[in-house]
Amino acid sequence: MRSTNILDEISDGKLYDIEDIVKADTCGCNGCNDCCCDVGELVVLTPFDIYEMVSYLGVEFDKLIGNKIELRKNNKISLPYLKMQDDNKNCSFLNEEGRCMIHSKRPNICRLFPLGRAYQDDTFKYFLQVGNCPKEDLKDVKVREWVGIENYDENKVFILEWHKFIKALGFRLKFVRDEKELEEINEVLLDSFYRLKVGEGENFYSVFFKDLPMIKSRLGII
């Protein structure tokens, strides 16, 4: 996540909404996977990202830890990140041909590139990360078409709520210094959101928002 105060340094200085046109279309990457290399510290995974992955791969969240993803501490919060391979720093989801094995269910941050999100006033817009994609002469494309997220409105509400939740949890943990308590809080976080179970007739969003108030209360977040 990047804040808008650095937009002039990394973008064209514009903010884009979902129906706007932006020069971000690579027209096919033609075998390039530059944006999948050495970005492990940048790609923090949301519960929705993990839900999409495990549903697609047919594996449990814990089976991915250490192999495809890694847990990292950020402001005392333990969150899953995409794991890079030790030898070449390529994403662990790249196959031998350098193509993404979960492309249709790739994380939202990967899906956006070369766009990023700028959060402001309880919403977000998009910015273009100029120069970050090595491909020249990117073409115009509608943001909605480029992002390609199903149920976009529901997804946006989730992203905003998760962003707010993580900020609140980070503030809460500033006052927690006992390592055992921190470990317990992080286990509740992972168990409640990243091991989330979706039953028949439910979807990710309905379960997430049903459980959220109880989990916030359990973690001491108002």
Rounded to the nearest integer, the mean pLDDT of the chain is 91
Residue 175: pLDDT band (50, 70, 90) is very high
pLDDT 10s digits, 45-64: 999 999 999 999 999 999 99
pLDDT of amino acid 51: 98
Contact 170, 185 (CB under 8 A): no
Residue 8: pLDDT band (50, 70, 90) is low
Nearest to 110 by CA among 165, 39, 166: 39
pLDDT of amino acid 137: 87
pLDDT 10s digits, 102-159: 999 999 999 999 999 999 889 999 999 988 888 888 999 999 999 999 999 999 999 9
pLDDT of amino acid 11: 66
pLDDT of amino acid 7: 55
pTM of the model: 0.91
Please give the Cα distance from 212 to 206 (Å, whole number). Answer: 10
Residue 10: pLDDT band (50, 70, 90) is low
Residue 36: pLDDT band (50, 70, 90) is very high
Beta strand extents in 110-219 (DSSP E only): 115-120, 123-128, 139-142
Average pLDDT over residues 180-197: 96
Contact 165, 221 (CB under 8 A): yes
Share of the chain above pLDDT 70, in %: 95
Contact 118, 126 (CB under 8 A): yes
Please give the angle made by the CA atoms of 91, 165 and 173, to the nearest 5 degrees: 90
pLDDT 10s digits, 60-69: 999 999 999 9
